[in-house]
Amino acid sequence: MPQIVLQDIKKSYGSVTVVENLNLSMANNEFTVLVGPSGCGKSTVLRMIAGLEVLTAGEILIDDKPVSHLEPKDRDIAMVFQDYALYPHMNVARNMSFALRLARYPKAKIEERVKKVADILGIVPLLSRKPAQLSGGQRQRVAMGRALVRDASTFLFDEPLSNLDAKLRTQMRAELALMRRRLEKNMIYVTHDQVEAMTLGDRIVVLRSGDIQQQGSAEQLYKTPVNKFVAGFLGSPPMNFFDGMLEESEGRIFVNGDGYRLPLPDTLQKRVQEQQSKEVIVGIRPTAFKIANGSTDGVQLDLPVVLPEYIGSQSVIMSRLGGQQIQIEVSSDTPLGTNETLAFTVDPKSIYLFDPNTEATL
Ligand SMILES: Nc1ncnc2c1ncn2[C@@H]1O[C@H](COP(=O)(O)OP(=O)(O)OP(=O)(O)O)[C@@H](O)[C@H]1O
Ligand SMILES: [Mg+2]
């Protein structure tokens, strides 16, 4: 039985519609991640669930009960805000314990909760400081702590790690992943960071202009994106796209472009036969290009090293294919010189095709 259901929800500000007819069901104890570019409506959706924005149309059900008429405090929801929203005149401990004090929890219980959560978040030494005496990342952790001390059935997180440095961010991400297993709560987490989305979410919901593009597990979205937007959004460096033209020759279908000719695997052969237009967008992930090393498996491509970038265990090569700039990821052991040409192979099975008009995956 789904725990939280968004039914045809709509949100307009005057004549501007931010969310139009959004439908989403989240199962009990599920960790749902809403991911999408800035301005796509992620915070708006969270704020509607929390009761901080009035729905223009539609209904939100929690445990089968409509809640859109309920005040935020009656929804059994704790939220971590993107802009922290800490009380400036209270120290960290009092900020964290605010909701518990309001609910008249016993003092010992409050102290125990605050201490435990502050420990997890690494902010024990900051408990007596005021928000103005904290860095952005520290404030963000306090904002998270203030929600986590609560007993709510649902936790909403709006980009709770965006102001942390890379190391702390990875550490907190792991803490969150561990914590959610212990907590067994509904969690809805908003981020524009696809790595965060992929590592944390049981269900990832990709939003674009207030519209759900696709939802599923990280693997489903990565391996079988429904359109070019999802394909380009998940994965780093992102999938490469270039223009191509379908051509049939000797009973096989190829996709041709400026400087390449790729035979399509059987699965794609059948699908493109119904295509009206011969124009397609080709998608190949940066990791699908393999240094040939004399191998003749797959399609052979000679590609220029325009700019090699060393990023640690991997190197990313800026190259060109089909008249467009592409990125190729190789092991950083590979010796790379600028302006040389390298021989690559690509397994035809790793080729994606998209309709240039609808951008849907073919
Ligand atoms: N009060 C408002 N009046 C008019 N437009 C608004 C209002 N609040 C938000 N919007 C618009 O709604 C859209 C969605 O905003 P929202 O804050 O939900 O985006 P977001 O996906 O959370 O983005 P970010 O990743 O930058 O936080 C934006 O285009 C924004 O300008
Ligand atoms: Mg936002």
Q: Are residues 35 and 89 in the same domain?
A: yes
Instruction: Pick the range with the lowest mean pLDDT from 30-39, 249-258, 271-280, 320-329.
Output: 271-280
Q: Which domain holds residue 88?
A: 2-226
Do 61 and 178 lie in one domain? The reply is yes
Q: What is the distance in A from the centroid of ligand 1 to the CA of 68? A: 20
The terminus-to-terminus CA distance of the chain in angstroms comes to 33
- Determine the pLDDT at residue 2: 53
Distance CA 100, CA 69 (A): 24
**CA 106 to each of CA 64, 91, 220: distance values in angstroms, whole numbers, following the listed order:** 32, 19, 46
Asked whether residue 252 falls in the same domain as residue 222, the answer is no
| Amino acid at residue number 8 | D
- Residue 188 near residue 32 (C-beta atoms within 8 A): yes
Tell how far the Cα of 37 is from the centroid of ligand 1, in angstroms.
Answer: 11
Q: What is the tens place of the pLDDT at every residue in 149-168?
A: 988 889 999 998 888 888 88
Q: How far is CA 219 from CA 225, 295, 311, in A?
A: 10, 29, 24
Provide the CA 195 distance to its chain's centre, in angstroms. 6
215 and 258 assigned to the same domain: no
Q: Distance between alpha carbon 344 and the CA centroid of its chain, in Å?
A: 30
| Beta carbons within 10 angstroms of residue 310's beta carbon | 10
- Residue 185 DSSP label: -
Per-residue confidence band for 1, with pLDDT thresholds at 50, 70 and 90: very low
Q: Residues near 352 by Cβ (< 8 Å), separated by ≥ 6?
A: 225, 231, 239, 282, 283, 284, 361
Q: Is the domain of 278 the same as that of 203?
A: no
Note whether 206 and 250 are same-domain residues. Answer: no
Average predicted confidence (pLDDT) for the chain: 90
Q: From the CB of 192, is ligand 1 less than 6 Å away?
A: yes
Residue 43 Cβ contacting ligand 1 at under 6 Å: yes
Ligand 1 atom closest to 45 (CA): 18
Number of structural domains (the chain) is 2
For residue 11, which atom of ligand 1 is closest to its CA? Answer: 12
At 136 the pLDDT is 83
In 3D space, the residue among 302, 284, 299 whose CA is nearest the CA of residue 342 turns out to be 302
C-alpha closest to that of 232 among 63, 77, 96, 359: 359
Structural domain includes residue 30 = yes
Q: Within this chain, do residues 323 and 197 fall inside the same structural domain, yes or no? A: no
Q: Return the CATH number at 87.
A: 3.40.50.300
CB of 38 closer than 6 A to ligand 1?
yes
| Residue to mutate (ligand 1; options 44, 82, 196, 209; most atoms within 8 A of CB) | 44
Residues 200 and 275 in one domain: no
- Is the pLDDT higher at 48 or at 171? 48
Residue whose CA lies nearest to ligand 1 atom number 2 = 13
Given a contact cutoff of 8 angstroms between Cβ atoms, the answer to whether 62 and 188 are in contact is no
Any domain includes 19: yes
Q: What is the DSSP string of 262-310?
A: EEPPHHHHHHHTT-S-SEEEEEE-GGGEEE-TT--SSEEEEEE-SEEEE
Is the minimum distance from the CB of 39 to ligand 1 under 6 angstroms?
yes
Q: How far is the CA of 22 from the centre of ligand 1 (A)?
A: 16
- pLDDT tens digits, 78-121: 998 888 889 999 999 999 999 999 989 999 999 999 999 998 88
Do 199 and 257 sit in the same domain of this protein? no
What's this model's pTM, rounded to 2 decimal places?
0.89
**By alpha-carbon position, which residue is closest to atom 24 of ligand 1?**
38
Tell me what the mean pLDDT of segment 168-172 comes to: 84
Q: Report the C-alpha gap between 203 and 217 in whole angstroms.
A: 5
- d(CA 77, CA 74) in angstroms, rounded, equals 8
Asked if the structure places residue 181 within a domain, the reply is yes
* CA nearest neighbour of 26 among 51, 60, 52: 60
User: Which of 14, 40, 56 is CA-nearest to residue 208?
Assistant: 40
24, 109: one domain? yes
Contact of 224 with 362, CB cutoff 8 Å: no
CATH of the domain at 303: 2.40.50.140
Hey, what are 285's tokens? 């992930």
Q: Which of 193, 226, 259 is the last residue of a domain?
A: 226
Specify if 362 maps to a domain: no
- Tell me the average pLDDT across 179-186: 78
Q: Is the CB of 41 under 6 A from ligand 1?
A: yes
Please provide residue 245's backbone torsions phi and psi, each rounded to the nearest 5 degrees. Answer: -135, 130
Q: Are 229 and 213 spatial neighbours (Cβ–Cβ below 8 Å)?
A: yes
The answer to whether residue 359 sits within a structural domain is no
Distance 35 CA to ligand 1 centre (A): 14
Same domain, 171 and 282: no
What is the structure's pLDDT at 137? 83
CA 51 to chain centre: 24
Residues 216-252: tens digit of each pLDDT: 999 999 999 999 999 999 998 999 999 999 998 888 8
Residue where one domain finishes, among candidates 200, 226, 252:
226
Ligand 1 centre to CA of 244 (Å) is 36
pLDDT for position 227: 97
